[in-house]
Amino acid sequence: MRSYRVVLASADVRNVLLLGALVRIPFFAGAVLLALHVVQTLHGSYVQAGVLSTIATVCIALSGPWRGRLLDRFGLRRTVAPSILVGAVCWSIAPFVDYVPLLIFAAIAGLFDVPIFTVVRQAVIAATTEQNRQPALALESVSVECAFMVGPIVGVAAASIWSTTMVLFFVQMTLVLAGILLWVRNPPLRSAQDADRANAVAVPRRSWFRLEFVALCVGASAAIAVLAGSELTFVSAIREFDAQKWLGVVLAVWGFGSVVGGLTYGALHRKISTYLLLAALGAVTLPMAFAVGPISLAITGLVAGLFCAPTITASIDQMSRVVPEGGRGEAIGWHSAALTLGNGIGSSMAGIAIDAGGFPAGFGAAAALGLGIGLGIPLLLTLHNRRRPAVDKQPSQVGA
């Protein structure tokens, strides 16, 4: 635990991680509450609930690179202030109107979403050195896993006691309050070794938006696609086993494996390639296709979960070494957008595979995606790096 003691000894890192863990719980609760509000209170269809969730998610994804670039150019306070105002106005009205106005307000609020994920990750990177960044990012990734498990449970439980209108209003106002707290605390987004924050300018995108960065985003997107596909396939498998009461337990075991894997990876004293972890994630996902009941599914899920959090942590850590400080806000925004895209791809891919061949096909498709992208990207990068010296030599040869 020495690595974590060193990280948590820093008040800046400790405060940012705590703030990030707390504000992400209402973030994940809000997603499921939107669907419940449409179906239960507005008496809409599940299709309408899905459309609303999709539009809100797409708008949040689109806002990531844009809001991240504003963080690089203008700093936290000037970027977050409009998000606070727009979010407060939209979510003070949206829970009390019909479906179409709710759709419009949710879309506008999504485009001006407080960039919580970007701010927390950028602040963690800024507050750490390259030597202790891995355990700090591992803790950040584990906190996301925990919030992802706790948030929907809290939201559904609250909606079963009070009306979804009031619960949705309260949860979204909590996120607005989180934005205000971020504005007040204003955690540094650049290290002390970087240029003076008041005079710092954004790094040109062309200096870092290259093949290596794009490959990292593709790898992170594939990792989330494997996880999203697996999550949907768990539901199909449990239904096929006629053991619906064990679904929560199996998912919890899978999530516990991710927490253990994330903490173990953070304690290591060496870097592991994102693509190697992605290929390993694909390999350990495959055995779940051969599960014969909820117990074997939980055991194989526990093993598969060990590589979930480490893969995402490694991609963020590797990105922090590829992108200079003046461009990390936008880069993390693109990274977050890639994760959102992967979530949609994974669910769709698994749904098609399950319809074609049942839950074994769903897990098989997710495993093939992880293995294919994890092994394919390093090969493409190697071929590109071999060709580039030859291309670079051509002008000098022509000049000669």
User: What would the mean pLDDT of 131-160 be, rounded to a whole number?
Assistant: 82
Residue 399 has pLDDT above 50, yes or no: no
Q: What is the pTM of this model?
A: 0.80
Class of CATH domain 1-190: mainly alpha
Which phi and psi (to 5°) does residue 227 adopt? -70, -45
pLDDT band at 391 (very low <50, low <70, confident <90, very high): very low
Class of CATH domain 204-382: mainly alpha
pLDDT single digits (tens) 167-195 = 999 999 988 998 898 888 888 877 666 54
Predicted confidence at residue 398, as pLDDT, reads 39
- Write the DSSP assignment of 265-329 as a string of letters: HHH-SS---HHHHHHHHHHHHGGGGG--SHHHHHHHHHHHHTTHHHHHHHHHHHHHHHS-GGGHH
Predicted confidence at residue 197, as pLDDT, reads 47
Taking the C-alpha atoms of residue 363 and residue 133, their distance in angstroms, rounded to an integer, is 33
Asked if domains 1-190 and 204-382 share a fold, the reply is: yes
Closest listed residue to residue 147, CA positions, set 290, 49, 258: 258
Predicted confidence at residue 202, as pLDDT, reads 61
Query: Radius of gyration (Cα) for the chain, nearest Å?
Result: 22
**What's the full length of the chain, in residues?**
400
Helices (H) and strands (E) in the chain, counts: 13, 0
Taking the C-alpha atoms of residue 276 and residue 282, their distance in angstroms, rounded to an integer, is 10
Q: Is 178 helix (H, G, I), strand (E, B) or coil?
A: helix
Domain definitions of the chain by residue range: 1-190, 204-382
Per the CB < 8 A criterion, the answer to whether 70 and 78 are in contact is yes
CA distances from 87 to 16, 218, 334, 342 (A): 22, 30, 22, 26
pLDDT single digits (tens) 43-75 = 888 778 778 877 888 888 888 888 888 888 888
- Write the DSSP assignment of 6-63 as a string of letters: HHHTSHHHHHHHHHHHHHHHHHHHHHHHHHHIIIIIS---HHHHHHHHHHHHHHHHHH
Task: Please give the helix or strand (H or E) that residue 375 lies within, else none.
Answer: helix 328-399
Residue 375 has pLDDT above 90, yes or no: yes
pLDDT band at 30 (very low <50, low <70, confident <90, very high): confident
Predicted confidence at residue 298, as pLDDT, reads 93
Taking the C-alpha atoms of residue 87 and residue 104, their distance in angstroms, rounded to an integer, is 13
Residue 28 has pLDDT above 90, yes or no: no
Residue 400 has pLDDT above 50, yes or no: no
pLDDT single digits (tens) 306-337 = 999 899 989 988 888 888 877 888 888 898 88
Predicted confidence at residue 303, as pLDDT, reads 95
Q: Any idea what the Cα angle at residue 237 is, between residues 233 and 242, rounded to 5°?
A: 145
pLDDT single digits (tens) 88-143 = 999 999 999 999 999 999 999 988 988 888 888 888 888 888 778 888 888 888 88
* Span of 102-111, 244-253, 290-299, 390-399 with lowest mean pLDDT: 390-399
Closest listed residue to residue 114, CA positions, set 193, 241, 26: 26
User: What would the mean pLDDT of 221-244 be, rounded to a whole number?
Assistant: 88
Predicted confidence at residue 297, as pLDDT, reads 94
One-letter amino acid at 222 equals A
